[in-house]
Every structure is written in structure tokens, then in C-alpha cells.
Amino acid sequence: MTRGERLGSLGARVVGGARAVVVPIAVAWLERAVGRAQARSRHRTRQVVLPAGAARPPVRFLLLHAWGVGGTIRTTFTTAAHLSSTHDVEVVSVLRGVVEPGLAVPPGVRLRALHDRTRRRPTPRNVAALLLAKAPPVLWHKQDWAYERASLWTDMLLLRWLRSLPDGTIVVTTRPALTLLASRLAPAGVVVIAQEHQHLSHHRQDLREALAASLPNVSMLLTLTRADCTAYEELLGATGPPVRAIPNAVPDVPAGPGDPGAHRLIAAGRLNHQKGFDLLLAAFATASASHPDWTLDIFGEGPLRPKLEELVVSLGLVGRARVNHSTERLGERMRDASVHVLSSRFEGFPLILLEAMAAGLCVVSFDCPTGPGEIITDESNGLLVPAQDVPAMAAALDRVMSDEPLRRRLAAEAPAAMRPYSSQQVGRRWDELLAGSNPANPV
């Protein structure tokens, strides 16, 4: 064994020994602290605002990773920007993994991270934190997909932050694991608004059962669609919190306008199973056989990039279909396209679909759960295709690729359909919610 190998082995033993001491101490502290926090969280207030005449309550949006570029982050920033004119607003991120935010932080909105992973250099003060960050979480629900990104250290940071909130603070959680933690650990005087960004049936059984048990101790539940609002009302029954449907808002970012004469399809999203780009490529391969001058551009990042690139080759689409990296200039890319395609197997609320309609593109979408069926009126402002039906999607693509007048008609009607989802309209519904007037569910 070389000197370097001996030093490495010694270092590993030292780290392992330290972890064996630090982790049990942290878990024991966490268990005691959780017990005390839960005693203070019972019988949560459902008073969304302070009494009349009181100062506007502070609003805290709780995200997993606010330094990314996903749809939940974008719509949170849009809502936070609107509320910042009347409330003290802060976006609190459990994690920070990069130095610069992927999206511009709106003026008037503060951004902070509980666990800043960009500061990893060991010091006498943070060595315990670095060790705990390597230990698996004990509070984060295992069926929340972000479980692998959480740790014992994020458990401790979340508990400490939630316990520190003064009564009257409004906390908006944005994913199931965070909702479960806030319902259990925030003081009872803290207003917890659980915002659901996926449809209920997407969650696995154990997670749905955990939500059913915990949601009665939140102040209000917000869904993105009327269909999901009904599903949660049925799940929670008469003892549950008020459930309201408030959709995501389209960011006030110029996009398009698209070119109805262009022979180009566009799609965008995370390169994963949910977004169904494998289904889109298969449908495009069929439809484009009669339209060799048409191209398809997919923009995104994710684990399925190698598989999708291989699929482009195996389907004979090289030069006609491209899997591009994500871009901050997607709106500009829309100007070169005539059709936007949403091929998702499921959605919470497809913000990209609204952005494409706002840009005046013809849209074709699977009628997947949930969202497209509430946004698109089939044959009026877009085309809806049965969910995951590749032959039907191929037929719909062939139809719009063959018929420029149809593309122009659908594109012309699309912008009017998204007006209820503008930041002004959705922001007004948040204002009404926080003023206690409980806006009606229809958009």
C-alpha cells in the first residue's frame, strides 16, 4: 500500500468514526425537537390573514431548489413578484447547488437557502454539517421523489426554520414532503397553505395516505386544476381544510410570436419519462414520412437524453428531429416554429402549454391528467389527443402539418384562451385569497 493509499484509508476511518458519533446524537436531538414542535403545531389556524387593520402578514414560499429553472420555480417567482407589492415576501430554498440562480429573482423578493451546497470546504464550524449532509433523512417522506436529495442535515435545518416562524406568517409549501413537514412542525399560529403542483393520482399510495392524514392540519390546500380540487375534496371530506383551485400564472416574458408558415414543431421540458418525448418522436416519425421538410426540436435537460438521442437515430430522424439543451431563450425559439406539442404522460399544470398559446402557436397536446383538458378547447384553440395514443398523435400532427389555414386559425384563437392565466388575473385571485374572500374555483 502506498503512502497516499494509507493516508486515504486513515482519513476514511476518521470520517467513518466521526459520523458514527455525530449521526446518533443528531437523530436523538431531532426526535426530541420534533416531539416539542408537534405539540406546538396542533389545531392549526385556518385564519388566512390577521384581523382587519393588522399589518399585512409576511409570506414565505418554501421550495426544494430555487436556483433551478423548473416550472414550479418559475410560477413561484411570478406569484412572489405580484405579492411583494403588498407583503414582505421571501422564497426559501431547502437546497442551493449552484452559485447563480437559473432564473432572475424578481425585484422586491428575497431569496435564501437553508443548505448551501456551494460552501463545502471543511472548517471546524461546519464539519458536523458536512457529515450530517451525507446521512439519509429521517423526516423527509420516502415516496417524495426528492428523497435522495434530502439529508439528515436538511431535516434539522427545516425543523429549526419552521419552529422559528412567528404566528401570522404565511408559509406556502410547494411539494408533498414539505407540506407534511410544515403541517407537523410549524407552530399552530403559522398559516400553512399547501400548494399541490401534481395531480393527486400521481402520488403513490403511501404518500397519498400520509397527505390525507396531515392535510387536516394545514390552513388551506391549493390545487392547480378544478379536477384535482374535486379529487382532494373527496379525499379529505368535511373535516379537511378549504380546498381552492388557483392555476399557475404565465410569466410576463415576451414569447414568440410563432410563424404559422414555418415547417417546424417545438417541444420543451425535462427529459424524463413524464414528458413523453419518446412518444412524440414515435408519432413524429410516422407523421413526417409524408412531410420530409418538417423538423422537430425538443429542448430540455434530464436523464433520458442518451435514450432519446438513440431513438432519433433508430427512427431514422437524424437531421429532422433534434434533442437540444435547455435554453433561457425558449420564447425566441418559438418565433421559428408554427406548432407546439405537449406529449406528457401526466402533468400538474403545463405552464409551457400556456406560454406557447400566449406566443400564438398552434398547439397539439395529449389529454393527459391534469391540465390540458382545462386549457384547450379541442378544435377551437388547439387539438387534444387521447392520452398516450401515439397513432392518434401522429394523425393530429399530420393534420396540422398538412393544413396551414388550420394552423393559422388555431394559433389565432390561442392567446385569448390564456388570458385568465395572466399574472394579473392569477395575482388578483391570490390577493382575494389572502384577503380572506376565498375566490371561486372556476378560472
**Mind listing the pLDDT tens digit for each residue in 139-175?**
999 999 899 999 999 999 999 999 999 999 999 999 9
Establish whether domains 31-245 and 264-419 are of one fold: yes
* Third-level CATH fold of 264-419: Rossmann fold (3.40.50)
Query: pLDDT confidence of 328, banded at 50, 70, 90?
Result: confident
Q: Alpha-carbon distance 407 to 128, whole Å?
A: 60
**DSSP output for 392-439:** HHHHHHHHHHH-HHHHHHHHHHHHHHTGGGBHHHHHHHHHHHHTT---
For 347-353, the CB contacts below 8 A with 24+ separation are 347/199, 347/274, 347/371, 347/372, 348/196, 348/197, 348/198, 348/199, 348/202, 348/224, 349/197, 349/224, 349/225, 349/247, 349/248, 350/375, 351/71, 351/74, 351/75, 351/248, 351/250, 352/71, 352/268, 352/269
The H or E element containing residue 177 is: helix 176-185
Buried b (16+ CB within 10 A) or exposed e, 354-365: bbbbbbbbbbbb
Residue 54: what pLDDT?
Answer: 57
**DSSP output for 183-239:** HHHS-TTSEEEEE--S-GGGS-HHHHHHHHHHGGGSSEEEESSHHHHHHHHHHHGGG
Amino acid at the residue 425: Q
- Closest CA relative to residue 425, chosen from 343, 354, 333, 364: 354
Query: Residue 16: pLDDT above 60?
Result: no
Half-sphere exposure of 118 (CA within 13 A, CB side): 11
**Mind listing the pLDDT tens digit for each residue in 70-82?**
889 989 999 999 9
Grid coordinates of 71: 416550472
Q: Alpha-carbon distance 300 to 296, whole Å?
A: 13
Asked if 390 and 366 touch (Cβ cutoff 8 Å), the reply is: no
- Closest CA relative to residue 261, chosen from 82, 404, 100, 370: 404
Residue extents of the structural domains in the chain = 31-245, 264-419
Q: Alpha-carbon distance 280 to 277, whole Å?
A: 5
DSSP code, position 243: E
Query: pLDDT confidence of 178, banded at 50, 70, 90?
Result: very high
Angle between helices 226-236 and 205-214 (to 10 degrees): 70
Cell 385571485 -> residue: 429
Q: Is the alpha carbon torsion for 211, 212, 214, 215 positive or negative?
A: positive
**Mind listing the pLDDT tens digit for each residue in 95-135?**
999 999 988 999 999 999 999 988 767 665 678 888 899 99
**Mind listing the pLDDT tens digit for each residue in 226-274?**
889 999 999 999 889 999 999 988 876 667 689 999 999 999 999 999 9
Q: Alpha-carbon distance 430 to 426, whole Å?
A: 7
Peptide bond into 251 cis (omega under 30): no
Residue 129: what pLDDT?
Answer: 87
pTM metric for this prediction: 0.82
CATH number of this structure's domain 31-245? 3.40.50.2000
Q: Alpha-carbon distance 186 to 101, whole Å?
A: 27
